[in-house]
Amino acid sequence: MKEKKKSDLSVLLGYAGNYKGLTFLGLLLSAVSMVLGMLPYICIWLVVRDLIQVAPNWTEASGISRYGWMAFIFAVAGIAVYFAALMCTHLAAFRTASNIRKAGMKHLMKAPLGFSDSNASGLLRNRLDGAAAETETLLAHNLADIVGTVAMFLGMLVLMIVFDWRMGLACLLAAVVSIVSMFTMMGGKNAKLMQEYQGAQDVMSKAGTEYVRGIPVVKVFQQTVYSFKAFKEAIENYSKKAEQYTDGVCRTPQSVNLTFTEGAFVFLVPLALLLAPAALASGSFAGFVTNFAFYAIFSAIISTALAKIMFAASGMMLAHTALSRINEVMNAPTLKITDHPKVPKDNSVEFKNVSFTYDGAEVPAIDNVSFKVEPGQTVALVGPSGGGKTTAASLIPRFWDTSAGSVLVGGVDVRDADPHVLMDQVAFVFQNNRLFKTSILENVRVSRPDATREEVQAALSQAQCDDILQKLPDGMDTVLGTKGTYLSGGEQQRVALARAILKDAPIVVLDEATAFADPENEAMIQKALGTLTKGRTVIMIAHRLSTVVGADRIIVMDNGKVIEQGTHSTLLQAKGLYERMWQEYNRAVRWRISKEAQ
């Protein structure tokens, strides 16, 4: 039997946990507050009735003071109860949003690390943190307003029929026009346009984050903001969608809505002119005037009620799109963890007929790859860009799981190992490592939280970071990113190497560790790499072929396949792809800019 799909509200309340009851209490109090808010209008009607009955002897209206105080008490009580209702719904809403963020982060912790690489951090943050914040408006305000407005409308229907059903129906015409206008704005294809608007906002958030990260490059090449084409296009697309929705969809219906709800009195006056002669002839003109006064005053509440419905409906629609964005995070693939984990026997790494295809791709990133790295060996993966080198390396620590075949560490399929044990076995250094906005001490200690200061200091020294610490005001206690304290790309790479050294993992994966380093930093990084890789199993990816000459074995990959493998000398003798790459590399190294004689 097909499981019934849960409503957006059910899903949100599911995140509320123990605070769900507080939400329902807030909704009940909101309904009570709205009923209390209507009672002063009845008190005003009673005042008008008494005054008309004794006119022109106003002093004989003895109940006016009592009704006035009653109206005041009901109004204050309504405000107090509504305040209590919002306190309940706000507490529940904040807890729900917090639970959504926690659930999202918990799920992301179970997702493959590669998921974070293929989804920009700005996009993930907007989907999770930003979308969770948007649900707060629904639960804290809109939901209470919906329940309160329903209670108000039920009360309005009763009150409008009790005194004079004809005048009551005239006032309700404004409500009908308003509801039709709101459905025009928010229903059908316009709901889809709202989703497109939210999608454009997501894309703009992602592009904005990437642009900020790319500002150094933009400055180096003296480019303006418009040089970042993706960011510019994202802004223009967002602006286009916003203009489409506000100007093309909302302008006319909203104008009609506001005109009739704010002027509900316009339906009442013609009807009163038609009914007045009959009331005058029947001798019930005083009662007629009293009823007219009530509806004239009460019609003002219609615009308030309808405005709350409109904002509440908008909140429901925003919450729906927010939940859709949250679900994109919650539906991220998770790594399957075996119930009976196996422990790797040694530090070997083996690929057995491994294939892997990224989601949405038609061609495999790597196809039927097999090779083995013995404990203590250094194996280099080289080849043209897009050949599958980085993808192959990322399968070792389970950034992704293979589509076919298996990756073995210590003779154990990585899918059969405990993820924590596997991560303890592997240290990896990327070409673009990220440092946190905290002290260098904590940045290095993140690889082994229980490490002492002395151990961190030793790792920094082995990573050739002594000169970095000497120039910083507080040494390794200096917080990066504050008071103008920043490190160059090569310096950041050395700190990242200190992390890997401190981790002391038996298997090391290096992905272009010297790619962005200047000659001076590269020399220091090479020294640090010598310390890091000593006595360990090393898989290194490199485009600078000079760094792989001494590798025990070189594996050449192209189009996701292993083309050839062997030592540097044997591959040169084979006259294959590696030999051609070596010749091109040497020509590039010898290339110089020369000034021709004038």
Single out the residue of 75, 81, 198, 86 nearest to residue 142, CA to CA.
Answer: 86
The structure's pTM equals 0.60
Instruction: Using pLDDT thresholds of 50, 70 and 90, give the confidence band for residue 409.
Output: very high
Looking from the CA of 374 toward its CB, the CA atoms found within 13 Å total 4
Query: What residues does each domain of the chain span?
Result: 8-328, 349-589
pLDDT digits (tens, 9 = 90+) for 422-462: 888 888 887 766 788 888 899 899 888 889 999 999 999 99
pLDDT digits (tens, 9 = 90+) for 113-147: 666 666 655 566 666 666 777 777 778 877 787 78
10 Å CB burial of residue 4 (0-12, 13-18, 19+) is exposed
For residues 89 and 83, give the distance between their C-alpha atoms in angstroms, rounded to a whole number. 10
Q: Cis link prior to 56 (omega < 30° from 0)?
A: yes
Instruction: Using pLDDT thresholds of 50, 70 and 90, give the confidence band for residue 312.
Output: low
- Between the alpha carbon of residue 97 and those of residues 10, 15, 140, 385, 490, the distances in Å are 14, 8, 11, 43, 40
pLDDT, mean over the chain: 79
- Between the alpha carbon of residue 148 and those of residues 41, 143, 298, the distances in Å are 17, 8, 17
- Residue pair 92/19 in contact (Cβ under 8 Å)? The answer is yes
User: Helix-strand-coil percent breakdown of the chain, rounded to 5?
Assistant: 65, 10, 25
- Residue pair 7/84 in contact (Cβ under 8 Å)? The answer is no
What are the b/e assignments for 460-486, b being 16+ CB within 10 Å? Answer: bebbbbeebbeebeeebebbbeeeeee
Looking from the CA of 549 toward its CB, the CA atoms found within 13 Å total 7
Q: What is the mean pLDDT of residues 332-351?
A: 85
Q: Which of 205-214, 240-249, 457-466, 577-586 has the lowest mean pLDDT?
A: 205-214
Percent of the chain's residues with pLDDT above 90: 16
- Residue pair 311/145 in contact (Cβ under 8 Å)? The answer is yes
Torsion of CA 372, 373, 375, 379, to 10 degrees: 170
Q: Residue 44's pLDDT is what? A: 80
CATH fold for domain 349-589: Rossmann fold (3.40.50)
pLDDT digits (tens, 9 = 90+) for 12-39: 777 888 888 888 999 899 989 988 888 8
Q: Which of 217-221, 266-270, 277-281, 352-356 has the lowest mean pLDDT?
A: 217-221
pLDDT digits (tens, 9 = 90+) for 244-300: 777 767 777 777 777 766 666 677 777 777 777 777 777 677 777 777 777 776 666
Other Cβ atoms less than 10 A from the Cβ of 409: the count is 27
pLDDT digits (tens, 9 = 90+) for 138-189: 788 777 877 887 787 777 777 777 777 777 777 777 777 777 776 777 666 6
- Per this entry, what is the length of the chain? 598
Instruction: Using pLDDT thresholds of 50, 70 and 90, give the confidence band for residue 353.
Output: very high
Q: Residue 209's pLDDT is what? A: 66
For residues 356 and 286, give the distance between their C-alpha atoms in angstroms, rounded to a whole number. 86
Q: Which of 197-206, 368-377, 522-531 has the lowest mean pLDDT?
A: 197-206
pLDDT digits (tens, 9 = 90+) for 58-94: 677 777 888 889 989 999 999 999 999 999 988 988 8
Q: Residue 407's pLDDT is what? A: 93
Instruction: Using pLDDT thresholds of 50, 70 and 90, give the confidence band for residue 2.
Output: very low
Task: Write the class of the CATH domain 8-328.
Answer: mainly alpha
- The DSSP H or E segment spanning 382 is strand 378-382
Instruction: Using pLDDT thresholds of 50, 70 and 90, give the confidence band for residue 224.
Output: low
For residues 339 and 570, give the distance between their C-alpha atoms in angstroms, rounded to a whole number. 45
**Domain 8-328 shares a fold with domain 349-589:** no
Instruction: Using pLDDT thresholds of 50, 70 and 90, give the confidence band for residue 597.
Output: very low
Q: Residue 262's pLDDT is what? A: 66
Single out the residue of 257, 313, 305, 29 nearest to residue 153, CA to CA.
Answer: 305
For residues 85 and 24, give the distance between their C-alpha atoms in angstroms, rounded to a whole number. 9
- Residue pair 481/434 in contact (Cβ under 8 Å)? The answer is no
Q: Residue 225's pLDDT is what? A: 52
Q: Residue 263's pLDDT is what? A: 65
For residues 263 and 258, give the distance between their C-alpha atoms in angstroms, rounded to a whole number. 8
pLDDT digits (tens, 9 = 90+) for 521-558: 777 878 888 888 888 899 988 877 888 888 899 999 99
For residues 371 and 400, give the distance between their C-alpha atoms in angstroms, rounded to a whole number. 18
269-274: long-range contacts at Cβ-Cβ below 8 A with a sequence spacing of 24 or more? 271/166, 271/167, 271/170, 272/167
Instruction: Using pLDDT thresholds of 50, 70 and 90, give the confidence band for residue 406.
Output: very high
Q: Residue 566's pLDDT is what? A: 92
